[in-house]
Structure 1
Amino acid sequence: MPNVDSVTVADLAQNVRLTVLQGEDYLNRQITTSDICRPSLEFAGYFKHYPAMRIQLLGITETSFAKEVPADKRREYIERMCTPQTPCFVVSTDLPVMDELKTAAEKAHIPILGTPLTSSRILGNMTSYLVGRLAPRESLHGVLVDISGVGVLITGDSGVGKSETALELVRRGHRLVADDRVEVYARDEQTLVGAAPTILQHLMEIRGIGIIDVMTLYGSGAVLPQDTIDFIVHLEIWTPDSQFDRLGDQGDTQFIQDVAIPKVSVPVKTGRNLAIIIESAAMNFRAQTMGYDATKTFDENLNRLIQQNSERDRKEAEND
């Protein structure tokens, strides 16, 4: 089952670089949605669809409009905005906090955060952070390695050699993201991100050796905290009756959290250097995304050769 991370107002303030203006004792309030509200109709008294569970962002437009509202009404509306579900208020552009907001927020135990950034900038920063933290996550069995900028998820049955292959890729200069378990979430409709569970960060299990710390052995340049999953390589034990794509024209995809990821299956057989094969597969995938398709080039060359041979045979037949 996908799980959702939890975020507190303290996490938000630390990671988005917000200043706590008031309510330091209430920073443990939970944020449950990445959606952010810029209240406007609320200052006109319309609360029928007030999204109380969202962060309330106040910028120049909102505060200027609020100042036009009579003081008693402004106080009433701000008090109604301070609900038990409201995680915090964020004031942008280093604007002064309205006295009515200070009083109502303190009474409701809601923190107020501030930033010198404009509303648009801080809105984008908070949304980006919260989407990454609050997106539903699921755990996959596999190894995630960054190969020259391509996030490759290596999958296969237990014992097929995923970790050993990933270790060889690290020795060849590529970077480990996660071994054995990969926590994945969809950043958007087309982007899947993977990371290691906290307890497994930088660690690999190699049968016969045990647990090794990749960062300690190979340096900080050998690991990444997270990476997009661009490509899947599935390792399968080779058998005489196995059928594998030999020309690269049988494109396959795997859907993870409704995101389609290109996938290839690679046979595992004694004597095959899987690290080089996966590295080549990643480079070939990268070339395809840049517009070069080796299979298409082969087909074009083959058709050209057939056409040339046919033309030669025709001319020889005419001469005879």
Structure 2
Amino acid sequence: MTKVRTQDLLDRFTLEIVAGHDGVHREIFTSDIARPGMEMAGYFKYYPSERLQLLGKTELSFFLELSHEQKKDRAMQLCTDVTPGIVITRGMDVPEEFVEAANEAGVPIMRSPYKTTRVISRLTNYLETKFAPFTAVHGVLVDIYGVGVLITGQSGVGKSETALELVKRGHRLVADDSVEIRQEDFDTLIGNSPPLIEHLLEIRGLGIINVMTLFGAGAVRSHKRITMIINLELWDQNKQYDRLGLEEETMRIMDVEVPKSTIPVRPGRNLAVIIEVAAMNFRLKRMGINAAEEFSERLTNMIGENQEGVNKGGFYSDM
């Protein structure tokens, strides 16, 4: 799992550190953020001390109405050995009691000029991304007309060569050989390339090529949501392949079921064009246009009309 420290928040967001400079390297273990309202009232029985604490206008307004002794007590109990940090929103002044307790315990207090809801949203999204479930698969990820297509298959089947042809046709490479995938939310998979091989493509007999250098910055992407999977396999004469497109196959990656199509590979087939059309057809299905279902409906109607004609002919012949 990716490690996130308080210093990472200072580097990424517009945060000013006010106190507790010694604790900027404290590690954050959860994406949950706490707003210690009950704790301000003195109830610390279920205080989630391991979470990032966020104090907005409501919490600080209540805190300022407490007596000096109560303020010191609340501040000391909020600043524990495991608390990764405290964020003050709206650019509000930090009470002296908090500054003293934070410096003593080494808990960094950070201040943001933005509204509380906005700060919570940005911090939560960032932490959720960092702590999202993660895996890696062997394949190639390409952005085709806005559709994130993960191309899988056995080594040597032609995945990288197909990706090269797709890039030449104006599409964008995300990752080759190894695709790092993280699950954001319950149904979203985001794929990216490992930093070591980012923008690189391996072509057997040619070697490593840099796609961005050869084709420009418009030919690559840093990450892309995976919405469909194309599995390439060598043509098997004994296997029955789907010829209508009515069968919907899926592949499970972590907790997400992703639509999957299997394309047999044999000499003479233009895989890049087939995958390109598959991506366009996927977009049409999302828009409610399914050619396979339309054909099936036409066939059913034609069979029904023919059957009706046969029945009528038989009735008149009996007369």
Normalising by the residue count of structure 2, what TM-score does the alignment of the two structures yield? 0.94
In 2, the alpha carbon distance for the partners of 1:288 and 1:17 equals 42
The match for 2:4 among 4, 7, 18 is 7
Listed one character per residue, the Cα deviations across residues 23-42 of structure 1 (whole Å, up to 9, x for unaligned) are 45542221111110111111
Task: State the match for 2:65 in structure 1.
Answer: 68
Task: State the match for 2:233 in structure 1.
Answer: 236
In 1, the alpha carbon distance for the partners of 2:250 and 2:307 equals 38
Matches within 5 A, 1:1-320: 4-314=1-311
- Could you say if the C-alpha distance between residues 153 and 116 of structure 1 is closer, same or farther in structure 2, counting changes exceeding 3 Å? same
The answer to whether the 8 A contact 1:177-1:227 is kept is yes
By how many angstroms is 1:68 displaced?
Answer: 2.1
* 3-state SS of paired residue (1:262): strand
In 1, the alpha carbon distance for the partners of 2:164 and 2:15 equals 40
Listed one character per residue, the Cα deviations across residues 164-204 of structure 1 (whole Å, up to 9, x for unaligned) are 11111111111111111111111011111111111111111
In 1, the alpha carbon distance for the partners of 2:18 and 2:241 equals 62
Normalising by the residue count of structure 1, what TM-score does the alignment of the two structures yield? 0.94
Which shifted more, 19-28 or 164-173?
19-28
In 2, the alpha carbon distance for the partners of 1:124 and 1:11 equals 16
By how many angstroms is 1:246 displaced?
Answer: 1.3
In 1, the alpha carbon distance for the partners of 2:255 and 2:311 equals 53
Q: Residue 193 of structure 1 aligns to which amino acid in structure 2?
A: I
By how many angstroms is 1:317 displaced?
Answer: 5.1
Listed one character per residue, the Cα deviations across residues 94-136 of structure 1 (whole Å, up to 9, x for unaligned) are 1111111111111122222222211111101111111111112
By how many angstroms is 1:62 displaced?
Answer: 0.8
Listed one character per residue, the Cα deviations across residues 31-87 of structure 1 (whole Å, up to 9, x for unaligned) are 111110111111122122111111111100111111122221121121111112111
Instruction: Percent identity, please.
Output: 49
Q: Which runs of 4+ in 1 moved over 6 A?
A: none
In 1, the alpha carbon distance for the partners of 2:65 and 2:279 equals 60
Q: Residue 50 of structure 2 aligns to which amino acid in structure 1?
A: M
In 1, the alpha carbon distance for the partners of 2:21 and 2:281 equals 52
Listed one character per residue, the Cα deviations across residues 127-173 of structure 1 (whole Å, up to 9, x for unaligned) are 11111111121111111111111111111111111111111111111
Gap regions ≥5 residues in structure 1: none
By how many angstroms is 1:309 displaced?
Answer: 2.8
Note the aligned Cα RMSD (angstroms): 1.6
The answer to whether the 8 A contact 2:42-2:74 is kept is yes
Q: Residue 177 of structure 1 aligns to which amino acid in structure 2?
A: V
